[in-house]
Structure formats: structure tokens, C-alpha cells
Amino acid sequence: MPTPTGPHLCYALAARQNARHLSRLYDNHLAPAGLSVSQFSILSLLEAYQSLKITSLAEMLSMERTTLVRALKPLQAAGWVVAGRADSGRAFDVTLSPSGVAKVAEAVPLWEGAQAAFEQEVGQDRAVRMRDEILELNLGG
């Protein structure tokens, strides 16, 4: 018997459809703070780690370094992120500015609303299981 095929069986398509749905959900909740979920992720990681090498931040986000540099530009322009050469002069350090800390504080309740909306949509237990399963896979890192 042949293996079933078709786009509806594609793991990548299913993951991307759900990722787009989640991105829209979080983006809509974070919009009043003027942030996308990608921007919030960057800012919240910087808040948690104080200062990171750009390569470390890119790895944490499973992003190419050049893509992260482009994503950082509007955050730098807004004054939320500061990036500069480290002591060695070769690597860039990325830190959150005081206004970036304030932006994260403004956005956290909105992010919590997105978390609650997703839990409402799929059920809290299922949402937690989904997140835990994805983290356990550790595909990006």
C-alpha cells in the first residue's frame, strides 16, 4: 500500500500555518505597544540576559545573524536596544536601554493577554503540552 501523500500531510506546512496563526494572535495583542511578537521576543531575551553577543542572541532565536541585524535596526532606531562592538572589537554586544526596559514592561501584560487568548482557544492543558513538546524537540538549538 502506498504511503499517503499530499500537502495536508506535510509537517512543514502544518507547522507554518500554525506559526502564522500564533504570530497574528500575538502581533494583534502586542500592537498597542507598537511591537510584533518577534520584536517582543528579542526585547524580552535582552531583558532576561542583560547583555548578549549578537551571535548568542541569534542562536537563541534560531535566526541567521544577518537577519537578526536587520531585525534590530528598528529597535535601535526606537532607542530600545543598544548594539556596539565588544572589548575585543570583533563581536557585537546587544543590550536593552532604559526605554527598552520600559517597553518590555508595557508589553508584558499584552503578551500575557495573548498567552491567555491562546489557552482559551485550545485549552490551557493542551497549550502547555504543545509548548513542552516543541521545546523538547529542540529542533532549533
Q: What is the pTM of this model?
A: 0.88
Instruction: Please give the chain's pLDDT, 141 residues, in tens.
Output: 556 677 778 889 999 999 999 999 999 999 999 999 999 999 999 999 999 999 999 999 999 999 999 999 999 999 999 988 766 666 789 999 999 999 999 999 999 999 999 999 999 999 999 999 999 997 876
Q: Angle at CA 119, nearest 5°, toward 114 and 121?
A: 95
Tell me, rounded to whole angstroms, the distance of Cα 115 from its chain centroid.
Answer: 13
Q: H/E element holding 108?
A: helix 98-122
Pick from 73, 77, 82: which is nearest to 50 by CA? 82
- State the amino acid at position 68 in one-letter form: L
Give the single-character DSSP code of 52. Answer: E
Q: What is the CA radius of gyration of the chain?
A: 18
Amino acid in position 97: S
> Is the dihedral angle over the CA atoms 21, 25, 26, 32 positive or is it negative?
positive
